[in-house]
Amino acid sequence: MTGISSRAAGKLQNRYKYNGKEEQRQEFSDGAGLDWIDYGARMYDAQIGRWHKQDRFSEKYLSSSPYGYVINNPMKFIDINGDSLNVLEKYREIFMKALESRFGENAKYFGYSQAGNLVYNGDTKKLSKDEQKFLKNMRGLMNEKTITNIIYESKYEGTDSKGNSFVIAPHKSGGEATASTKQNPTLTQNYVLVDPVGKSPITVFETTDEFYKNRSNGVIGTDNFVRNDNVITNPETSTWHGIGHIIYAGKTLNNVIDFDNSSRALNKTKNPDGTFTASPMTPRKYDDTHNKTIIWYGN
């Protein structure tokens, strides 16, 4: 079979090997090379089947070798670029609805690592440009070393690194609440809590054009806001709003509304036959708690 193999005379060079990763070949001046395969975060030596660097997320998998690959299960997993958006098994059905509401039939390409962390194994070229951009923003969390937990409950009670208890209650903030390590250094993980039966619509006080002008003068009145009692929300939309809070922790909160609106623009409805219909939701305006003057770190 040498006539059609990589050893054939006059062949084209193919440096892309297992998992489509590039082989570093003949990198030395004398034409020699290590023939390692570049996975980005570390190099794989296919000649001996070994990595020469630890997995950067090895502390998440203490039962496995830090030099291992996909938890020794290459039939099920592939090497991924980040894996830190965590969804417990009991919440995955609800979270799948959130994924389907934005990615439609392509939501089926999302899966979970053994540790329960979200991964995307699909071809991103099959996504629309807006879906690709949205996935890129998601990967801002999926690439993070800090785990972000997605939880669907009316209340969550946890313990921080110092043994102090904390409570997250989404009913106090429109059916969604978040807690960030950037706001509270004693937390070791981020949390997005969504009330699965949260009310809709919700009331917000949208900023007017005069808001920023008057704020700079130190004068804020009720005429700087317009009350809106008809902001439609649901567990899927609240999920993405909460994820936006974690992505943009430490930045002005107009970014969260912009992310929320990119999510709403992608909204899809699942039909009885399993297909999806685009059904964009009404975008939100900046409001008294989400605008260019407020920086958020967490609840």
Q: Which helix (H) or strand (E) holds 268?
A: strand 268-270
Which pLDDT score, from 0 to 100, does residue 42 have? 73
Which pLDDT score, from 0 to 100, does residue 296 have? 58
Q: What ranges do the domains of the chain cover?
A: 14-81, 85-278
Please, are residues 36 and 50 in contact by the beta-carbon 8 Å criterion? no
Q: How far apart are CA 102 and CA 41, in angstroms?
A: 29
E strands, 18-132, are 22-24, 36-38, 43-45, 50-51, 85-87, 110-112, 118-120
Q: Is the pLDDT of residue 1 over 50?
A: no
How is residue 263 written in tokens?
């999510």
Q: What is the DSSP letter of 61?
A: -
DSSP letters, 196-250, are TT--SSEEEEEE-THHHHHHHTT---GGGEEEEEEE---HHHHHHHHHHHHHTTT
Is the peptide bond prior to 201 cis by the omega test (within 30 degrees of 0)?
yes
Q: Which helix (H) or strand (E) holds 193?
A: strand 190-194
The 10 Å Cβ neighbour count of residue 263 is 23
Which pLDDT score, from 0 to 100, does residue 297 have? 53
Residue 81 — pLDDT band, cuts 50, 70, 90? very low
Please, are residues 180 and 246 in contact by the beta-carbon 8 Å criterion? yes
Which pLDDT score, from 0 to 100, does residue 2 have? 45
Q: Is the pLDDT of residue 43 over 50?
A: yes
Q: What is the DSSP letter of 35?
A: -
The mean pLDDT of 225-244, rounded to a whole number, is: 94
How is residue 51 written in tokens?
């990595």
Q: Which amino acid is at 157?
A: E
Please, are residues 272 and 206 in contact by the beta-carbon 8 Å criterion? no
HEC secondary structure over 162-174:
CCCEEEECHHHHC
Burial of residue 214 (CB within 10 Å: 0-12, 13-18, 19+) is middle
Which pLDDT score, from 0 to 100, does residue 190 have? 92
- Higher per-residue confidence, 142 vs 9: 142
Cite the DSSP H helix spans in 128-176.
129-142
